[in-house]
C-alpha cells in the first residue's frame, strides 16, 4: 500500500463518520447546525459529501466519472480514489 498513513486515517475517519463534517460536530455540540457548508441543503455527512452534494458534482465527475454515486459504490472505490 503506497497510501500514506495520514491519508489513510483521513479516509478511514471520513468513512466511519468520525470527522470534522458539520453533522458530526453538531452531534458533539461543537457546531450550531448540521447543514452542508457547500450547498446548505443536506446534512453534511460523509455520504452527502461523497455521493449527493450538488455543488461537488463536477469534482465527482472529474475523479469518479459520474456525477452521483450511490453509497454502495463507495465500497468498490480504493482509498486513493476516495482521497482524490
CA distance 25 to 38: 16
Q: Number of structural domains, the chain?
A: 1
pTM: 0.74
Phi-psi region of 3 (alpha: psi -120 to 50; beta: other; left: phi over 0): beta
pLDDT in tens, 2-59: 668 888 888 888 888 888 999 999 999 999 999 999 999 999 998 898 889 999 989 8
pLDDT in tens, 40-49: 999 999 889 8
What was the pLDDT predicted at 2? 62
What is the sign of the dihedral through the CA atoms of 24, 30, 33 and 35? negative
Q: Which domain holds residue 68?
A: 5-83
DSSP string, 5-27: HHHHHHHHHHHHT-SSSHHHHHH
Amino acid at each position: 500500500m503506497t497510501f500514506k498513513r495520514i491519508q489513510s486515517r483521513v479516509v478511514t475517519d471520513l468513512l466511519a463518520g468520525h470527522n470534522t463534517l458539520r453533522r458530526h460536530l453538531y452531534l458533539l455540540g461543537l457546531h450550531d447546525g448540521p447543514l452542508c457548508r457547500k450547498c446548505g441543503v443536506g446534512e453534511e455527512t460523509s455520504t452527502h459529501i461523497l455521493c449527493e452534494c450538488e455543488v461537488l458534482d463536477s469534482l465527482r465527475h472529474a475523479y469518479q466519472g459520474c456525477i452521483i454515486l450511490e453509497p454502495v459504490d463507495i465500497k468498490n472505490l480504493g482509498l486513493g480514489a476516495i482521497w482524490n
